[in-house]
Amino acid sequence: MARDERDGIEADLRRLLARARLAPSDAEFKNLIATVRDSRTAAAKLRVGLSRNDEPAFGLPPRRQG
Amino acid sequence: MADELCFLTIAAAGERIRNRKLTSVELTRAFLDRIDAINDKINAYLLVTAEEALGAAETADKDLADGEYRGPMHGIPFALKDNIETAGIRTTAQSRILMDHVPTNDARVVEKLKLAGGVPLGKLTCLEFAHGAPSPDQAWPPARNPWDRDHGFTGGSSTGSGAAVAAGLAMGTLGTDTGGSVRNPAALCGIAGLMPTYGRVSRRGVIPYSFSLDSCGPMAWTVEDCALMLNVMAGFDAADPGSADLPAPDFAADLGHGVKGLRIGVIRHFFEDDMEAEPETLAAIDQALEVLAAQGAVIEEVRVSPLMDYHLVKTLIGEAEFYAIHEQDWLARAQDYGASLRLRTAEGAMIPAVDYIQAQRVRRKLAAEMDALFEGFDVVVTGTNFRPAPRIETEAAGQPEPQEAGPRKSRPNPTEVFNVTGNPAISVCTGFNVQGLPLAMQIAGRAFHEATVLQTAHAFEAATPWRGKRPNI
Protein backbone atom coordinates (compact mmCIF):
# COMPACT_ATOMS: atom_id res chain seq x y z
CA MET A 1 0.00 0.00 0.00
CA ALA A 2 1.40 3.40 -1.01
CA ARG A 3 2.32 5.92 1.67
CA ASP A 4 -0.22 8.42 0.33
CA GLU A 5 -3.00 5.87 0.80
CA ARG A 6 -1.78 4.94 4.29
CA ASP A 7 -1.75 8.61 5.28
CA GLY A 8 -5.19 9.04 3.74
CA ILE A 9 -6.64 6.20 5.79
CA GLU A 10 -5.24 7.65 8.99
CA ALA A 11 -6.57 11.13 8.25
CA ASP A 12 -10.01 9.81 7.24
CA LEU A 13 -10.24 7.70 10.39
CA ARG A 14 -9.26 10.62 12.63
CA ARG A 15 -11.97 12.79 11.04
CA LEU A 16 -14.57 10.02 11.33
CA LEU A 17 -13.84 9.31 14.99
CA ALA A 18 -13.87 13.02 15.77
CA ARG A 19 -17.34 13.30 14.19
CA ALA A 20 -18.46 10.42 16.43
CA ARG A 21 -16.78 12.08 19.44
CA LEU A 22 -14.69 8.98 20.11
CA ALA A 23 -11.18 9.18 21.45
CA PRO A 24 -9.60 5.74 21.28
CA SER A 25 -6.26 5.03 22.91
CA ASP A 26 -3.17 5.07 20.68
CA ALA A 27 -3.12 1.27 20.69
CA GLU A 28 -6.79 1.05 19.71
CA PHE A 29 -6.29 3.61 16.96
CA LYS A 30 -3.26 1.81 15.56
CA ASN A 31 -5.15 -1.48 15.54
CA LEU A 32 -8.10 0.13 13.78
CA ILE A 33 -5.80 1.51 11.08
CA ALA A 34 -4.20 -1.93 10.70
CA THR A 35 -7.64 -3.53 10.31
CA VAL A 36 -8.72 -1.04 7.63
CA ARG A 37 -5.44 -1.49 5.72
CA ASP A 38 -5.85 -5.26 5.92
CA SER A 39 -9.38 -4.98 4.55
CA ARG A 40 -8.25 -2.88 1.57
CA THR A 41 -5.36 -5.20 0.77
CA ALA A 42 -7.67 -8.21 0.94
CA ALA A 43 -10.28 -6.51 -1.27
CA ALA A 44 -7.63 -5.79 -3.89
CA LYS A 45 -6.66 -9.47 -3.99
CA LEU A 46 -10.27 -10.63 -4.07
CA ARG A 47 -11.17 -8.72 -7.24
CA VAL A 48 -8.24 -9.99 -9.32
CA GLY A 49 -10.32 -12.70 -11.04
CA LEU A 50 -13.19 -10.45 -12.10
CA SER A 51 -13.86 -9.74 -15.75
CA ARG A 52 -15.61 -6.69 -17.20
CA ASN A 53 -18.99 -8.41 -17.49
CA ASP A 54 -19.18 -9.93 -13.99
CA GLU A 55 -22.23 -8.27 -12.46
CA PRO A 56 -22.83 -7.77 -8.75
CA ALA A 57 -25.37 -9.65 -6.62
CA PHE A 58 -27.32 -7.11 -4.61
CA GLY A 59 -29.58 -9.64 -2.95
CA LEU A 60 -29.91 -13.09 -4.44
CA PRO A 61 -33.59 -14.04 -4.98
CA PRO A 62 -34.28 -12.30 -8.33
CA ARG A 63 -31.99 -14.61 -10.30
CA ARG A 64 -33.64 -17.59 -8.67
CA GLN A 65 -37.23 -16.67 -9.33
CA GLY A 66 -37.03 -17.00 -13.10
CA MET B 1 -43.60 -33.67 35.90
CA ALA B 2 -43.63 -29.96 35.02
CA ASP B 3 -39.95 -30.06 34.00
CA GLU B 4 -40.59 -33.16 31.90
CA LEU B 5 -43.07 -31.14 29.85
CA CYS B 6 -40.28 -28.66 29.08
CA PHE B 7 -38.23 -31.40 27.43
CA LEU B 8 -40.94 -32.58 25.05
CA THR B 9 -40.39 -31.83 21.39
CA ILE B 10 -42.77 -29.52 19.56
CA ALA B 11 -44.01 -32.51 17.58
CA ALA B 12 -44.78 -34.53 20.73
CA ALA B 13 -46.32 -31.68 22.70
CA GLY B 14 -48.35 -30.56 19.69
CA GLU B 15 -49.78 -34.05 19.34
CA ARG B 16 -50.76 -34.15 23.03
CA ILE B 17 -52.42 -30.75 22.74
CA ARG B 18 -54.31 -31.78 19.60
CA ASN B 19 -55.51 -34.95 21.37
CA ARG B 20 -56.55 -32.91 24.43
CA LYS B 21 -54.13 -34.80 26.71
CA LEU B 22 -52.29 -31.59 27.54
CA THR B 23 -53.44 -28.00 27.66
CA SER B 24 -51.43 -25.09 26.38
CA VAL B 25 -51.91 -23.34 29.73
CA GLU B 26 -50.44 -26.33 31.57
CA LEU B 27 -47.48 -26.41 29.19
CA THR B 28 -46.95 -22.65 29.29
CA ARG B 29 -47.03 -22.60 33.10
CA ALA B 30 -44.37 -25.32 33.15
CA PHE B 31 -42.11 -23.17 31.01
CA LEU B 32 -42.77 -19.99 33.01
CA ASP B 33 -41.97 -21.86 36.23
CA ARG B 34 -38.75 -23.26 34.79
CA ILE B 35 -37.72 -19.85 33.44
CA ASP B 36 -38.39 -18.39 36.89
CA ALA B 37 -36.28 -21.10 38.50
CA ILE B 38 -33.20 -21.20 36.28
CA ASN B 39 -33.05 -18.28 33.86
CA ASP B 40 -30.67 -16.47 36.21
CA LYS B 41 -28.21 -19.33 35.69
CA ILE B 42 -28.47 -19.15 31.90
CA ASN B 43 -29.42 -15.51 31.17
CA ALA B 44 -31.28 -16.60 28.05
CA TYR B 45 -34.25 -14.24 28.52
CA LEU B 46 -33.92 -10.51 28.92
CA LEU B 47 -37.70 -10.11 29.08
CA VAL B 48 -40.36 -12.67 30.01
CA THR B 49 -43.90 -11.80 28.87
CA ALA B 50 -45.75 -14.11 31.24
CA GLU B 51 -49.10 -12.35 31.10
CA GLU B 52 -49.19 -12.32 27.31
CA ALA B 53 -48.06 -15.95 27.21
CA LEU B 54 -50.81 -17.15 29.52
CA GLY B 55 -53.37 -15.12 27.59
CA ALA B 56 -52.25 -16.72 24.31
CA ALA B 57 -52.28 -20.16 25.91
CA GLU B 58 -55.83 -19.67 27.17
CA THR B 59 -56.92 -18.57 23.71
CA ALA B 60 -55.23 -21.63 22.18
CA ASP B 61 -57.07 -23.93 24.58
CA LYS B 62 -60.39 -22.19 23.99
CA ASP B 63 -59.96 -22.35 20.21
CA LEU B 64 -59.28 -26.06 20.40
CA ALA B 65 -62.32 -26.58 22.60
CA ASP B 66 -64.34 -24.71 19.95
CA GLY B 67 -63.03 -27.04 17.26
CA GLU B 68 -60.52 -24.61 15.76
CA TYR B 69 -57.17 -26.39 15.46
CA ARG B 70 -54.42 -24.29 13.88
CA GLY B 71 -51.74 -26.93 13.25
CA PRO B 72 -48.66 -28.37 14.98
CA MET B 73 -47.66 -25.02 16.57
CA HIS B 74 -51.08 -24.69 18.25
CA GLY B 75 -50.47 -23.92 21.93
CA ILE B 76 -46.67 -24.32 21.66
CA PRO B 77 -44.49 -21.94 23.72
CA PHE B 78 -41.72 -20.26 21.71
CA ALA B 79 -39.41 -17.30 22.24
CA LEU B 80 -37.83 -14.59 20.12
CA LYS B 81 -34.37 -13.15 19.71
CA ASP B 82 -34.63 -9.55 20.84
CA ASN B 83 -33.87 -8.11 17.39
CA ILE B 84 -37.29 -9.35 16.21
CA GLU B 85 -39.96 -6.73 16.74
CA THR B 86 -42.98 -7.33 18.94
CA ALA B 87 -46.00 -5.02 19.05
CA GLY B 88 -46.16 -3.10 22.32
CA ILE B 89 -43.19 -5.01 23.75
CA ARG B 90 -39.75 -3.42 23.98
CA THR B 91 -37.32 -4.69 21.36
CA THR B 92 -33.74 -3.66 22.04
CA ALA B 93 -31.43 -5.91 20.00
CA GLN B 94 -29.46 -5.95 23.29
CA SER B 95 -28.40 -2.34 22.72
CA ARG B 96 -28.71 0.87 24.69
CA ILE B 97 -29.43 2.56 21.36
CA LEU B 98 -32.88 0.91 21.33
CA MET B 99 -33.56 0.87 25.07
CA ASP B 100 -36.83 2.77 24.56
CA HIS B 101 -37.88 1.12 21.31
CA VAL B 102 -41.43 -0.25 21.57
CA PRO B 103 -42.58 -1.33 18.09
CA THR B 104 -46.13 -0.75 16.92
CA ASN B 105 -46.30 -3.97 14.92
CA ASP B 106 -45.13 -7.55 15.22
CA ALA B 107 -42.53 -8.77 12.75
CA ARG B 108 -44.14 -10.85 10.01
CA VAL B 109 -42.72 -14.09 11.44
CA VAL B 110 -44.19 -13.27 14.85
CA GLU B 111 -47.60 -12.56 13.30
CA LYS B 112 -47.45 -15.91 11.53
CA LEU B 113 -46.45 -17.90 14.61
CA LYS B 114 -49.20 -16.24 16.65
CA LEU B 115 -51.77 -16.94 13.93
CA ALA B 116 -50.66 -20.58 14.02
CA GLY B 117 -51.52 -20.68 17.72
CA GLY B 118 -47.97 -20.26 19.07
CA VAL B 119 -47.45 -18.87 22.57
CA PRO B 120 -44.70 -16.20 22.82
CA LEU B 121 -42.84 -16.52 26.13
CA GLY B 122 -40.57 -13.50 25.82
CA LYS B 123 -37.46 -11.95 24.34
CA LEU B 124 -34.06 -13.59 24.26
CA THR B 125 -30.69 -11.98 24.66
CA CYS B 126 -28.23 -11.79 21.77
CA LEU B 127 -25.05 -10.06 20.75
CA GLU B 128 -25.64 -6.34 20.26
CA PHE B 129 -27.44 -5.79 16.94
CA ALA B 130 -26.65 -9.46 16.16
CA HIS B 131 -23.02 -8.44 15.61
CA GLY B 132 -19.75 -8.20 17.48
CA ALA B 133 -18.88 -10.17 20.59
CA PRO B 134 -20.09 -10.45 24.19
CA SER B 135 -19.36 -7.12 25.87
CA PRO B 136 -19.19 -6.71 29.64
CA ASP B 137 -20.77 -3.27 29.35
CA GLN B 138 -23.97 -4.41 27.62
CA ALA B 139 -27.32 -3.80 29.27
CA TRP B 140 -27.96 -7.47 30.06
CA PRO B 141 -25.46 -10.19 30.96
CA PRO B 142 -24.41 -12.61 28.23
CA ALA B 143 -26.20 -15.95 27.91
CA ARG B 144 -24.42 -18.94 29.44
CA ASN B 145 -23.99 -22.21 27.62
CA PRO B 146 -26.19 -24.80 29.42
CA TRP B 147 -23.50 -27.45 28.84
CA ASP B 148 -20.85 -25.38 30.66
CA ARG B 149 -22.50 -22.56 32.59
CA ASP B 150 -19.33 -21.36 34.27
CA HIS B 151 -17.24 -20.71 31.19
CA GLY B 152 -18.89 -21.84 27.97
CA PHE B 153 -19.77 -19.38 25.21
CA THR B 154 -23.12 -20.13 23.57
CA GLY B 155 -21.95 -19.02 20.15
CA GLY B 156 -23.46 -15.95 18.58
CA SER B 157 -25.22 -13.95 17.78
CA SER B 158 -28.49 -15.74 18.70
CA THR B 159 -27.02 -16.53 22.10
CA GLY B 160 -30.22 -16.70 24.15
CA SER B 161 -32.04 -18.56 21.37
CA GLY B 162 -29.53 -21.41 21.51
CA ALA B 163 -29.28 -21.48 25.28
CA ALA B 164 -33.05 -21.39 25.86
CA VAL B 165 -33.75 -24.46 23.73
CA ALA B 166 -30.88 -26.49 25.19
CA ALA B 167 -31.91 -25.60 28.76
CA GLY B 168 -35.59 -26.44 28.23
CA LEU B 169 -36.68 -22.82 28.51
CA ALA B 170 -38.54 -22.75 25.18
CA MET B 171 -39.65 -25.45 22.74
CA GLY B 172 -38.50 -23.48 19.76
CA THR B 173 -36.88 -20.12 19.25
CA LEU B 174 -36.26 -17.71 16.42
CA GLY B 175 -32.78 -16.57 15.55
CA THR B 176 -31.33 -14.41 12.82
CA ASP B 177 -28.34 -15.35 10.70
CA THR B 178 -25.99 -13.04 8.78
CA GLY B 179 -22.80 -15.10 9.00
CA GLY B 180 -23.83 -18.10 11.11
CA SER B 181 -25.83 -16.56 13.96
CA VAL B 182 -28.44 -19.32 13.95
CA ARG B 183 -26.11 -22.23 13.16
CA ASN B 184 -23.21 -21.38 15.48
CA PRO B 185 -25.24 -21.15 18.69
CA ALA B 186 -27.17 -24.24 17.56
CA ALA B 187 -23.83 -26.06 17.22
CA LEU B 188 -22.33 -24.89 20.52
CA CYS B 189 -25.57 -25.52 22.43
CA GLY B 190 -26.17 -28.97 20.91
CA ILE B 191 -29.47 -28.24 19.14
CA ALA B 192 -30.70 -27.92 15.53
CA GLY B 193 -30.73 -24.55 13.79
CA LEU B 194 -31.75 -23.83 10.21
CA MET B 195 -30.90 -20.85 8.05
CA PRO B 196 -33.49 -20.93 5.24
CA THR B 197 -32.70 -19.84 1.68
CA TYR B 198 -32.26 -16.08 1.39
CA GLY B 199 -35.74 -14.78 0.63
CA ARG B 200 -37.67 -17.78 2.01
CA VAL B 201 -38.69 -16.17 5.33
CA SER B 202 -39.80 -12.56 5.63
CA ARG B 203 -37.49 -10.23 7.52
CA ARG B 204 -40.07 -7.48 7.89
CA GLY B 205 -39.76 -6.29 11.47
CA VAL B 206 -36.36 -7.92 11.98
CA ILE B 207 -33.81 -5.28 12.95
CA PRO B 208 -31.24 -5.55 10.14
CA TYR B 209 -27.52 -6.18 10.31
CA SER B 210 -26.88 -6.59 6.57
CA PHE B 211 -29.75 -6.35 4.10
CA SER B 212 -28.25 -8.67 1.52
CA LEU B 213 -27.01 -11.34 3.97
CA ASP B 214 -29.68 -11.49 6.72
CA SER B 215 -31.99 -14.46 7.24
CA CYS B 216 -34.38 -15.43 10.01
CA GLY B 217 -34.55 -19.10 10.99
CA PRO B 218 -35.91 -21.63 13.49
CA MET B 219 -33.91 -23.20 16.33
CA ALA B 220 -35.21 -26.26 18.18
CA TRP B 221 -34.17 -29.50 19.86
CA THR B 222 -34.85 -31.58 16.75
CA VAL B 223 -34.75 -31.21 12.99
CA GLU B 224 -38.43 -32.16 12.83
CA ASP B 225 -39.31 -29.25 15.13
CA CYS B 226 -37.34 -26.87 12.87
CA ALA B 227 -39.40 -28.15 9.92
CA LEU B 228 -42.67 -27.59 11.80
CA MET B 229 -41.64 -24.03 12.66
CA LEU B 230 -40.50 -23.31 9.09
CA ASN B 231 -43.86 -24.48 7.80
CA VAL B 232 -45.37 -21.53 9.63
CA MET B 233 -42.60 -19.00 9.02
CA ALA B 234 -42.01 -19.44 5.28
CA GLY B 235 -43.76 -17.55 2.50
CA PHE B 236 -43.66 -14.48 0.29
CA ASP B 237 -44.02 -11.05 1.85
CA ALA B 238 -44.24 -8.09 -0.49
CA ALA B 239 -43.16 -5.85 2.38
CA ASP B 240 -39.70 -7.49 2.45
CA PRO B 241 -37.77 -6.44 -0.68
CA GLY B 242 -35.63 -9.57 -0.40
CA SER B 243 -38.60 -11.94 -0.19
CA ALA B 244 -38.92 -14.58 -2.90
CA ASP B 245 -42.32 -15.00 -4.54
CA LEU B 246 -42.31 -18.78 -4.50
CA PRO B 247 -44.72 -21.31 -2.97
CA ALA B 248 -43.59 -22.92 0.29
CA PRO B 249 -43.92 -26.71 0.37
CA ASP B 250 -44.62 -28.85 3.46
CA PHE B 251 -41.10 -28.98 4.88
CA ALA B 252 -41.93 -31.95 7.13
CA ALA B 253 -43.38 -34.11 4.35
CA ASP B 254 -40.10 -35.80 3.34
CA LEU B 255 -38.63 -36.26 6.80
CA GLY B 256 -39.17 -40.00 6.85
CA HIS B 257 -37.78 -40.65 3.38
CA GLY B 258 -34.22 -41.41 4.49
CA VAL B 259 -31.08 -40.76 2.46
CA LYS B 260 -30.85 -43.89 0.31
CA GLY B 261 -29.45 -42.86 -3.07
CA LEU B 262 -29.04 -39.23 -2.04
CA ARG B 263 -25.82 -37.71 -3.41
CA ILE B 264 -23.86 -35.93 -0.68
CA GLY B 265 -20.80 -33.79 -1.44
CA VAL B 266 -18.35 -33.21 1.39
CA ILE B 267 -16.49 -29.88 1.40
CA ARG B 268 -13.59 -31.12 3.47
CA HIS B 269 -11.05 -28.45 2.56
CA PHE B 270 -13.00 -25.83 4.57
CA PHE B 271 -12.17 -27.61 7.81
CA GLU B 272 -9.02 -29.56 6.96
CA ASP B 273 -6.94 -27.31 4.65
CA ASP B 274 -8.31 -23.75 4.67
CA MET B 275 -8.74 -23.95 8.44
CA GLU B 276 -8.02 -26.81 10.79
CA ALA B 277 -10.82 -28.27 12.88
CA GLU B 278 -9.97 -29.80 16.25
CA PRO B 279 -9.63 -33.60 16.10
CA GLU B 280 -12.85 -34.34 17.99
CA THR B 281 -14.90 -32.08 15.69
CA LEU B 282 -13.31 -33.71 12.67
CA ALA B 283 -13.82 -37.25 13.96
CA ALA B 284 -17.48 -36.55 14.71
CA ILE B 285 -18.07 -35.34 11.13
CA ASP B 286 -16.36 -38.46 9.75
CA GLN B 287 -18.53 -40.66 11.95
CA ALA B 288 -21.63 -38.77 10.82
CA LEU B 289 -20.71 -39.37 7.19
CA GLU B 290 -20.36 -43.09 7.97
CA VAL B 291 -23.86 -43.04 9.45
CA LEU B 292 -25.25 -41.43 6.29
CA ALA B 293 -23.30 -43.82 4.03
CA ALA B 294 -24.59 -46.81 6.01
CA GLN B 295 -28.12 -45.63 5.18
CA GLY B 296 -27.38 -45.64 1.47
CA ALA B 297 -26.22 -42.09 0.75
CA VAL B 298 -23.58 -41.74 -1.95
CA ILE B 299 -20.77 -39.65 -0.55
CA GLU B 300 -18.04 -37.89 -2.49
CA GLU B 301 -15.49 -35.24 -1.60
CA VAL B 302 -15.85 -31.95 -3.52
CA ARG B 303 -13.99 -28.65 -3.74
CA VAL B 304 -15.15 -25.06 -4.17
CA SER B 305 -13.35 -21.70 -3.71
CA PRO B 306 -11.23 -21.27 -0.58
CA LEU B 307 -13.04 -20.44 2.64
CA MET B 308 -11.17 -17.13 2.87
CA ASP B 309 -12.81 -15.86 -0.34
CA TYR B 310 -16.26 -16.29 1.22
CA HIS B 311 -15.06 -14.70 4.44
CA LEU B 312 -13.70 -11.60 2.72
CA VAL B 313 -16.86 -11.17 0.66
CA LYS B 314 -19.05 -11.59 3.73
CA THR B 315 -16.95 -9.18 5.79
CA LEU B 316 -16.82 -6.42 3.17
CA ILE B 317 -20.55 -6.61 2.46
CA GLY B 318 -21.60 -7.13 6.07
CA GLU B 319 -19.50 -4.38 7.62
CA ALA B 320 -20.38 -1.84 4.90
CA GLU B 321 -24.12 -2.53 5.15
CA PHE B 322 -23.96 -2.49 8.97
CA TYR B 323 -22.43 0.99 8.86
CA ALA B 324 -25.01 2.18 6.32
CA ILE B 325 -27.74 1.12 8.76
CA HIS B 326 -26.06 2.58 11.84
CA GLU B 327 -24.37 5.72 10.51
CA GLN B 328 -26.86 8.15 11.97
CA ASP B 329 -27.05 6.54 15.42
CA TRP B 330 -23.33 5.87 15.61
CA LEU B 331 -22.30 9.44 14.74
CA ALA B 332 -24.78 10.81 17.28
CA ARG B 333 -24.42 8.25 20.08
CA ALA B 334 -21.29 6.15 19.56
CA GLN B 335 -20.74 5.97 23.32
CA ASP B 336 -24.03 4.11 23.72
CA TYR B 337 -22.77 1.18 21.66
CA GLY B 338 -21.13 -1.62 23.61
CA ALA B 339 -17.37 -2.01 23.66
CA SER B 340 -17.54 -4.70 21.01
CA LEU B 341 -19.10 -2.44 18.37
CA ARG B 342 -18.10 1.10 19.36
CA LEU B 343 -14.90 1.23 17.32
CA ARG B 344 -15.57 -1.71 15.04
CA THR B 345 -18.47 0.13 13.44
CA ALA B 346 -15.94 2.60 12.00
CA GLU B 347 -14.46 -0.19 9.88
CA GLY B 348 -17.60 -0.27 7.74
CA ALA B 349 -17.35 3.45 7.06
CA MET B 350 -13.84 2.95 5.73
CA ILE B 351 -14.82 0.41 3.06
CA PRO B 352 -14.73 2.24 -0.31
CA ALA B 353 -17.81 1.90 -2.53
CA VAL B 354 -15.71 0.15 -5.14
CA ASP B 355 -14.63 -2.56 -2.66
CA TYR B 356 -18.25 -3.17 -1.68
CA ILE B 357 -19.31 -3.52 -5.32
CA GLN B 358 -16.37 -5.78 -6.15
CA ALA B 359 -17.35 -7.99 -3.21
CA GLN B 360 -20.91 -8.22 -4.58
CA ARG B 361 -19.47 -9.15 -7.99
CA VAL B 362 -17.28 -11.90 -6.49
CA ARG B 363 -20.31 -13.02 -4.49
CA ARG B 364 -22.27 -13.71 -7.67
CA LYS B 365 -19.42 -15.84 -8.98
CA LEU B 366 -19.28 -17.81 -5.72
CA ALA B 367 -23.05 -18.34 -5.80
CA ALA B 368 -22.82 -19.55 -9.42
CA GLU B 369 -20.05 -21.95 -8.46
CA MET B 370 -22.22 -23.34 -5.66
CA ASP B 371 -25.22 -23.70 -8.00
CA ALA B 372 -23.03 -25.66 -10.41
CA LEU B 373 -21.88 -27.92 -7.58
CA PHE B 374 -25.50 -28.68 -6.66
CA GLU B 375 -26.19 -29.92 -10.18
CA GLY B 376 -24.32 -33.06 -9.14
CA PHE B 377 -25.32 -33.28 -5.47
CA ASP B 378 -28.51 -33.14 -3.43
CA VAL B 379 -26.81 -31.69 -0.35
CA VAL B 380 -23.31 -30.86 0.85
CA VAL B 381 -21.84 -31.53 4.27
CA THR B 382 -19.15 -29.44 5.91
CA GLY B 383 -18.30 -28.22 9.40
CA THR B 384 -20.45 -25.74 11.27
CA ASN B 385 -17.40 -24.60 13.20
CA PHE B 386 -13.93 -25.84 14.08
CA ARG B 387 -14.26 -26.60 17.78
CA PRO B 388 -16.79 -26.94 20.60
CA ALA B 389 -17.76 -24.01 22.84
CA PRO B 390 -14.79 -21.76 23.66
CA ARG B 391 -14.56 -20.05 27.03
CA ILE B 392 -16.74 -16.97 27.13
CA GLU B 393 -13.84 -14.94 28.52
CA THR B 394 -11.82 -15.47 25.35
CA GLU B 395 -14.71 -14.29 23.18
CA ALA B 396 -15.50 -11.18 25.19
CA ALA B 397 -14.62 -7.75 23.88
CA GLY B 398 -14.19 -4.55 25.78
CA GLN B 399 -10.90 -4.94 27.50
CA PRO B 400 -9.53 -1.49 28.41
CA GLU B 401 -6.67 -1.94 25.95
CA PRO B 402 -6.38 -4.32 23.03
CA GLN B 403 -4.50 -7.42 24.07
CA GLU B 404 -2.33 -7.57 20.97
CA ALA B 405 -1.10 -5.03 18.46
CA GLY B 406 -2.30 -5.45 14.89
CA PRO B 407 -5.53 -5.74 12.93
CA ARG B 408 -8.65 -7.09 14.61
CA LYS B 409 -8.66 -10.84 14.40
CA SER B 410 -11.18 -11.96 11.86
CA ARG B 411 -11.86 -15.69 11.66
CA PRO B 412 -13.38 -17.43 8.65
CA ASN B 413 -16.24 -19.74 9.42
CA PRO B 414 -17.93 -22.33 7.18
CA THR B 415 -21.33 -20.92 8.07
CA GLU B 416 -20.59 -17.64 6.23
CA VAL B 417 -20.32 -19.55 2.96
CA PHE B 418 -24.06 -20.05 2.70
CA ASN B 419 -24.93 -16.48 3.67
CA VAL B 420 -22.79 -15.40 0.73
CA THR B 421 -24.42 -17.86 -1.70
CA GLY B 422 -27.91 -17.66 -0.18
CA ASN B 423 -28.33 -21.45 0.10
CA PRO B 424 -30.22 -23.07 3.01
CA ALA B 425 -28.08 -24.76 5.69
CA ILE B 426 -28.72 -26.50 8.99
CA SER B 427 -26.47 -27.33 11.94
CA VAL B 428 -27.08 -30.62 13.75
CA CYS B 429 -25.44 -32.19 16.79
CA THR B 430 -22.87 -34.89 15.97
CA GLY B 431 -22.09 -35.91 19.54
CA PHE B 432 -20.05 -34.61 22.46
CA ASN B 433 -16.35 -34.17 23.21
CA VAL B 434 -14.63 -35.62 26.27
CA GLN B 435 -15.66 -32.60 28.36
CA GLY B 436 -19.29 -33.19 27.40
CA LEU B 437 -19.53 -30.19 25.04
CA PRO B 438 -21.64 -30.58 21.89
CA LEU B 439 -20.07 -31.09 18.45
CA ALA B 440 -21.79 -30.34 15.13
CA MET B 441 -21.84 -30.48 11.37
CA GLN B 442 -23.54 -28.41 8.71
CA ILE B 443 -25.75 -29.68 5.88
CA ALA B 444 -26.55 -27.29 3.02
CA GLY B 445 -28.78 -27.66 -0.01
CA ARG B 446 -29.91 -26.14 -3.29
CA ALA B 447 -31.67 -22.79 -3.11
CA PHE B 448 -35.25 -23.28 -1.93
CA HIS B 449 -34.68 -27.00 -1.27
CA GLU B 450 -34.85 -26.81 2.52
CA ALA B 451 -36.93 -29.99 2.48
CA THR B 452 -33.95 -32.05 1.25
CA VAL B 453 -31.67 -30.48 3.85
CA LEU B 454 -34.18 -31.30 6.58
CA GLN B 455 -34.71 -34.82 5.22
CA THR B 456 -30.96 -35.54 5.37
CA ALA B 457 -30.52 -33.98 8.80
CA HIS B 458 -33.52 -35.86 10.19
CA ALA B 459 -32.24 -39.19 8.84
CA PHE B 460 -28.91 -38.60 10.59
CA GLU B 461 -30.56 -37.47 13.82
CA ALA B 462 -32.91 -40.48 13.89
CA ALA B 463 -29.97 -42.88 13.47
CA THR B 464 -27.88 -41.43 16.32
CA PRO B 465 -28.42 -41.24 20.09
CA TRP B 466 -27.56 -37.56 20.58
CA ARG B 467 -31.12 -36.28 21.10
CA GLY B 468 -31.36 -38.40 24.24
CA LYS B 469 -28.89 -36.32 26.23
CA ARG B 470 -29.76 -33.01 27.92
CA PRO B 471 -27.52 -30.63 29.90
CA ASN B 472 -27.62 -31.02 33.65
CA ILE B 473 -28.75 -27.72 35.17
Catalytic residue selected from B24, B95, B135, B157: B157
Q: Which of B95-99, B150-154, B439-443 has the lowest mean pLDDT?
A: B150-154
Nearest CA to B267 out of B190, B379, B371 is that of B379
Q: Which among A12, A35, A61 is the nearest to B242, CB-wise?
A: A61
Q: Greater confidence, B35 or B473? A: B35
Q: Which of A1-10, B71-80, B306-315, B420-429 has the lowest mean pLDDT?
A: A1-10
Count other Cβ atoms within 10 Å, centred on residue B195.
34
For B201-233, how does the pLDDT look when each residue is reduced to its tens digit (9 = 90+)?
999 999 999 999 999 999 999 999 999 999 999
Nearest CA distance, B302 vs chain A (angstrom)? 21
Q: What is the pLDDT of residue B401?
A: 46
Closest residue of A to B358, CA-based?
Answer: A47
* Contact between chains at B365 and A46 (C-beta distance less than 8 A): no
| ipTM tops 0.95 | no
Q: What is the pLDDT of residue B325?
A: 98
Task: Mark out chain A residues that contact chain B at CB-CB < 8 A.
Answer: 9, 12-13, 16-17, 19-22, 24-25, 27-28, 30-32, 34-40, 42-43, 46-47, 49-50, 54-61, 64-65
pLDDT at B398 over 70: no
For B233-290, how does the pLDDT look when each residue is reduced to its tens digit (9 = 90+)?
999 999 999 999 999 999 999 999 999 999 999 999 999 999 999 999 999 999 999 9
Strands B215-220 and B192-195: antiparallel
pLDDT at B138 over 50: yes
pLDDT at B400 over 60: no
Q: What is the mean pLDDT of residues B110-138?
A: 95
* Contact between chains at A61 and B198 (C-beta distance less than 8 A): yes
* Contact between chains at B360 and A65 (C-beta distance less than 8 A): no
Q: What is the pLDDT of residue B366?
A: 95
Q: What is the pLDDT of residue A66?
A: 36
Q: What is the pLDDT of residue B405?
A: 66
Chain B residues close to A47, C-beta within 8 Å: 358, 361-362
Chain B residues close to A24, C-beta within 8 Å: 343
pLDDT at A62 over 80: no
Q: What is the pLDDT of residue B287?
A: 98
pLDDT at B329 over 80: yes
* Contact between chains at B316 and A12 (C-beta distance less than 8 A): no
* Contact between chains at B335 and A21 (C-beta distance less than 8 A): yes
β partners of residue B314: none
pLDDT at B451 over 50: yes
Contact B225, B192 (CB under 8 A): yes
Nearest CA distance, B342 vs chain A (angstrom)? 9
Average confidence score pLDDT of chain B: 95
How far is B110 from B84, CA to CA, in rounded Å?
8
By three-state DSSP, how is residue B354 classified?
helix
